[in-house]
Structures are given as C-alpha cells and as structure tokens.
C-alpha cells in the first residue's frame, strides 16, 4: 500500500492527463484540490469520472491546517492559471517558487507542465534543492517533453517528426479547443490587440499564414459530440480547417509515466 503525499502542480491545458491518471489508478487515495479559480474545470471532470475529492482552502493548506494522514496515499492538486507559458522566465520562476513552497507539505511533486520556452530545463533536477523528488513529462528516450503538444504526441523525437509531416499548421489538443477562448488570449501573436474577437483572431491567423489546424486526440479529453462542437466552434472563430493526422500520432506514454514514476517514488522511500 502506498503511503505519503503526492503534490501535482498542473496547467489547465494538461488537466485531462491528471484526471486520466487518477481515474486509471484504482488504489485508494485521498484527493485534495486546492481551491483556485483555475481548478473549477478540473473538479467538474473529476466528478464526471466519479473520482472523489475534497476542496481545500489554499491558505489553510499552505499553513498546515489541512490534516492529512501520512499513513495513507494523498494526492494534492494545485492548478495554475492558464497563460504562464507565454512568459517562459515567469513560468519557471513561478513553478520553482511553488516547488519550494510545497516541499514541506509533500513527499514528491509531479510537475504537469511542458517546459514551454524553457528549452533544456529539466525541472526534476530541482529536487536537489528542495530535498524531495520532482517528476516531469518524459518520453521513452527519457527526454523531457517540451510542451503540451510534445506530451500529446509522445515526446521530443515524435514531436520533431510530427512537425516535419505537418509544417506551417496550428497544433491543438482537445483541451486547447475546450479552453480556446482563454487560451487564444495568451498566444504570443495575439498580444497587442486591444480587442480580441472572432474577426481579430481570424485576421491574426491570416497574417501569420495559417490555413490548417491539426488535432492530436489522445482519447482522454472531451470526445464525441462535445469534441465535434469544439472543433466546429474553433474553426468558425479561427478560419482554420482541420486535417486528420495518422491515428498513431497520439501517445499517452508521457502521461502514464509521470504519474507512475511519482507514485513509485513513494514506495521507494525509506
């Protein structure tokens, strides 16, 4: 039986991966979601999948007022706001500060983030500074996944091959489509516009020469009619037409590995 506390620090675009990991793990666990504005959609998905959880006040958790049993398996989830990836230096600083903050409240940290502009940064090395293991998305070659698209296609080499097959296209996942209204506001090439509406977004994509979008569907996010409606709405707002990649493009290995490795590290504690 696993004992100890796993702290997951996540980006909303990768919340489907978090829900998938928790739902696939049938071992008994206590799930605590820290109450932030960015945690609402995660909680809805946990409820939809029948995954029980408790909402904890962030101040109370930070100050040790949330009582957790160290002899049980606890999972604490902190969801950050969408858009940190736009400023790579700020993203890295924020995540490092959060890891320092929770090192005394957790036994291991799973950083559910791509590196998003911090190329070459291996956040797991930060474990040496904070004294507890840190895990990130990795591929079968043990390379760190660069961003959420890299996570969805299985890693760095797969990402490179995917880009070569689909050059000059806009890459999306079900989570990006689902969060498009907020996600689009944080895109680098959308900065500087006082008003972002359907006409502005279309104009921006035209200026940058985008005509097609590629959906990488790992099968763990929205699906069926909900996904079809999301794709339709995305195409209407961007003017981009979807093309269908090879079905084997999507790969959930990085998502399965980060949770497995983090959980296994609890078993290896002395």
| Percentage helix, strand, coil for the chain under 3-state DSSP, each rounded to 5 | 50, 15, 35
Is the CB of residue 17 less than 8 Å from the CB of residue 154? no
Range name among 46-50, 113-117, 192-196 with the lowest pLDDT average: 192-196
CB-CB neighbours of 237 under 10 Å: 17
Assign 171 to helix, strand or coil: strand
pLDDT value of residue 180: 85
Query: Is residue 22 over pLDDT 70?
Result: yes
Q: According to the model, what pLDDT value does residue 83 have?
A: 74
Cα 111 to chain centroid, rounded: 9
Q: Which CATH class is domain 4-146+252-267?
A: alpha beta
pLDDT tens-digit readout, 160-178: 999 999 999 999 999 999 9
Q: What's the confidence (pLDDT) of residue 190? A: 54
Alpha helix locations (H) across 154-251? 156-165, 174-178, 180-185, 198-207, 224-238
**pLDDT of residue 195 exceeding 70:** no
**Lowest-confidence region among 43-52, 92-101, 127-136, 174-183:** 174-183
> What's the pTM value of the predicted model, to 2 decimals?
0.92
* For the chain, domain boundaries: 4-146+252-267, 167-244
Convert 111-131 to b/e letters by CB count within 10 Å (16 or more is b). bbbbbbbbeebebbebbeebe
How many beta carbons lie within 10 A of that of residue 43, not counting itself? 18
| Distance separating alpha carbons of residues 238 and 208, to the nearest angstrom | 12
Least-confidence region, from 53-62, 79-88, 109-118: 79-88
């Amino acid at each position: 039986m696993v004992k100890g506390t796993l702290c997951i620090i996540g980006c909303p675009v990768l919340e489907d991966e978090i829900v998938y990991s928790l739902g696939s793990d049938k071992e008994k666990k206590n799930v605590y979601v820290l109450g932030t504005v960015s945690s609402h959609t995660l909680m809805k998905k946990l409820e939809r999948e029948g995954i029980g959880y408790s909402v904890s006040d962030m101040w109370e958790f930070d100050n040790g007022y949330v009582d957790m049993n160290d002899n049980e398996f606890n999972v604490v989830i902190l969801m950050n706001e969408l858009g940190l990836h736009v400023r790579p230096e700020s993203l890295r600083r924020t995540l490092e500060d959060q890891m320092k903050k929770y090192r005394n409240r957790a036994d291991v940290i799973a950083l559910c983030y791509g590196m998003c502009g911090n190329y070459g940064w291996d956040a797991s090395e930060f474990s040496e500074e904070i004294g507890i293991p840190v895990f990130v998305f990795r591929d079968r070659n043990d390379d760190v996944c660069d961003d959420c698209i890299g996570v969805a296609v299985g890693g760095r080499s797969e990402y490179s091959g995917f880009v070569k097959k689909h050059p000059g296209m806009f890459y999306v996942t079900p989570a990006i489509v689902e969060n498009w209204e907020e996600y689009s506001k944080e895109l680098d090439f959308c900065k500087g516009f006082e008003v972002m509406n359907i006409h502005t977004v279309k104009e921006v994509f035209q200026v940058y020469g985008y005509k097609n979008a590629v959906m990488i569907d790992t099968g763990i996010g929205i699906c069926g009619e909900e996904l079809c409606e999301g794709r339709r709405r995305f195409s209407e707002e961007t003017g981009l037409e979807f093309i269908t990649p090879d079905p084997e493009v999507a790969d959930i290995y990085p998502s399965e590995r980060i949770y497995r490795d983090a959980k296994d590290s609890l078993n290896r504690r002395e």
